[in-house]
Structure 1
Amino acid sequence: MANERFASIWDAIEDTPEQAANMRLRSKLMMILGERVKSWNVSQAEAGRRLGLTQPRVNDLLKGRISKFSLDALVNLSTHAHYRIDISVVEEEATPV
């Protein structure tokens, strides 16, 4: 078995480059949102009120349960957390087929 190198863990475990890209974005947003919630130093119930979520959903966010959040949902939560999302698109070198 050859050693393979991957740009991220998502590239290693997801089936397609599209799924890996989606997971990279979701995980980054979840980390940022989790840090914001922690910085508020409030209960999960209060954080939920600020984000428009229930306390159990805040717990899912803080525990990193990525499968429970779509990219769209995380973008929407970002606005409640007073973040503005900008997109940077970078061209990659094409890999030979």
Structure 2
Amino acid sequence: MTLEYSNIFDAITEDKAEASELQTRSDLMIVIRDIINAKNWSQADAAAQLGLTQPRVSDLVNGRIEKFSIDKLMTCLYRIGFRFKPAFADNQLTMAVEAVTTN
């Protein structure tokens, strides 16, 4: 018997909406971790840029998904210069990523 999941979080919850939220949080955390690594930031540098404490950055880069909401992760991305811009037209939902200037 082989189990197959399109979303790994489907394996831990029967609630499809919860699995989707967990996957989204995971995806956002991975992107933020990749940005931190690409910029060669220490956890202290990342904390200053993201508006978090260093222990919270440690939680983020170590994948402690239960510690972060989508809202918090979106705020972190904004603080380092990115914003998601959803649009709906012609029965199509699209999502663009815009660069933003933060000060």
Q: If the length of structure 1 is used for normalisation, what is the TM-score?
A: 0.81
| Partner of residue 64, structure 1 | 63
Which runs of 5 or more structure 1 residues have no equivalent in the other structure? Answer: 91-97
Larger relative contact order, structure 1 or 2 (CA cutoff 8 Å, min sep 6) = 1
Aligned to 1:20, what secondary structure does the other structure show? helix
Q: How many pairs align?
A: 89
Measured after TM superposition, the shift of residue 69 of structure 1 is 0.3
Aligned to 1:84, what secondary structure does the other structure show? strand
Of residues 25-34 and 12-21 in structure 1, the stretch that sits farther from structure 2 once superposed is 12-21
Q: Which runs of 4+ in 1 moved over 3 A?
A: 86-90
Which structure has greater helix proportion? 1
| Partner of residue 53, structure 1 | 52
Aligned to 1:85, what secondary structure does the other structure show? strand
- Cα distance in structure 1, aligned partners of 2:11 and 2:38: 32
Structure 1 residues 24-78: Cα deviation after superposition (integer angstroms, max 9, x where no partner): 1101000000000111212211110011010001111110111100111111111
- Cα distance in structure 2, aligned partners of 1:81 and 1:64: 19
Which structure has greater strand proportion? 2
